[in-house]
Amino acid sequence: MSKQIAHFIGGELTHDTDARSGPVFNPSTGQEVARCVFGSRQTVDHAVKVAAEAAAKWGRASHAARLAVVFKLRDLVIANMDVLADAIGREHGKTIADAKGEIGRAIEGIEFACAAPHVTKGEYANNVGGDIEVFSMRRPIGVVGCITPFNFPIMVPAVMMTMAVAVGNSIVWKPSEKVPSAALEFARLWKEAGLPNGVFNVVQGDKEVVDAILEHPGIAGISFVGSTGVGEYVYQKGTSHNKRVAAFTGGKNHMVVMPDADLEAAASAFVSAGFGSSSQRCMAVSLLLPVGNETAERLRELIIPKIKALKVGPYDDATADFGAVVSKESKASVEKAIARCLEEGGEMVIDGRNIEIPGNPNGYYLGPTLFDRITADMQMYKEEVFGPVRGIMRPATFDEAIAITNSHEYGNGSVIFTRDGKSAHRFMMEVESGMIGVNVPVPLPTSYFNFGGLRRSKFGEGHLYGPDAARFYTKLKTVSQRWPEPDDGALPISLAFNPTA
């Protein structure tokens, strides 16, 4: 019998009586490794009640008390890196090295949460009139609902939730049902760090749990990372229930390469940014845009051997460059996208289908696949392919490359490789993406800068981390106060709108 993966509510593991459940697979082998218990509306209601009671006390705790827990969490994540990486790789399929890289970015987010007192400081003005002083302060919003994707089981929750906790909120978190174990490991570390019971809660489940979170009157804000269709649904439904919502969604990230660029460096950057983690990243480079046919031909010659040299293997194979995709359904979806591209006239340069991994015949493996001569009317341009399939487009000019980039509905990240400062500056100013890279393969900012795309890559005005995350998780209060002398007597009556002089 498969092990049961439970909820974590009020500091304890808990199962619903007669709950539905779903299988959890190891993508490297295709074998079922666990059953994930699915919560219900009643489970969410219980978790919110527990979280609200905990938030009332945690929100009044001092900055010092909160940050002591966050500091301890950082140390525990570092000490438990091997355990966390194995939990990620076993259910996601990414390599241990990639999982540890993810955890490293999670640690950055935890470290930035230690700056919560600084980024939530208010403003002050003395004697604005009539000895009145005005100041602002930020207070926690209460219970935060978090909904996270399968592709970053620790990094996204860490950067999303640690700041929310650091500024005094409590959490009700629904992780992806594909990778539920890492969530319980993270909850365990929060408890070991000294976080009071009830501040951090995990409710496993599917759409029923998502809807319950979006509709629950006790949840003040929603943070979501996932696909665009679901993210738009989360935003619309959550805001219709009067919640603040920040939803971070898909990307189709373009890499423009100018003729003057270091093409060897650009080729390596494209392969690294395009195929890492089986391309299951919203910040992965999807399309390569060499400017001019000569640049395209030279770059194609450089990237083909680099791609062919990539090794695909099980998550615990230290020599593998990337592993399986997350599920059988995901593999089928990627293969369908490949077939569609062939039908529409894409030139297949490297075919990664039908790859065989010795000892793992049932794993969800796809080798790296490369298409050339992608055009804007093809699905390979229009849709995000969450698997190791990348494409080359051939803009004749820099203007055309910018137009192709800006014509897409997504605006997560865009990259340019060039030696020319004017081209780089124009790219930064004109390209409509939330994150821009110049000679950088993946423009993922460090945790003390705001993360978020433009257009349909983000819904809502919040950001995933950086100073704006702290603002998203807090509400602003502005206080005007005056302390008269004991013998000043009563204020004179004035019906003027602003009697402060």
The 10 Å CB-count burial string (b at 16+, else e) for 308-325 is eebebbbbebeebbbbbb
| Whole-angstrom distance, CA of residue 82 vs CA of residue 237 | 38
The 10 Å CB-count burial string (b at 16+, else e) for 106-116 is bbbbbbbbbbb
Calculate the alpha carbon distances from 222 to 45, 172, 207, 210, 395 in Å.
15, 10, 15, 10, 40
| Whole-angstrom distance, CA of residue 450 vs CA of residue 472 | 11
| Whole-angstrom distance, CA of residue 298 vs CA of residue 292 | 10
CB atoms within 10 A of CB 499: 12
Is 153:173 a contact under the CB 8 Å cutoff? no
DSSP state of 196: P
Is the backbone of residue 168 left (phi > 0), alpha (psi -120 to 50) or beta? Answer: left
Active site residues: 282
Calculate the alpha carbon distances from 412 to 301, 420, 499 in Å.
28, 24, 49
DSSP state of 19: -
Going through 268-379 in order, the beta strands assigned E by DSSP cover 285-290, 347-350, 369-372
Is 223:144 a contact under the CB 8 Å cutoff? yes
Sheet containing 3-5, strands listed edge to edge, beginning at the edge strand earlier in sequence: 3-5, 31-38, 20-26
Is 138:475 a contact under the CB 8 Å cutoff? yes
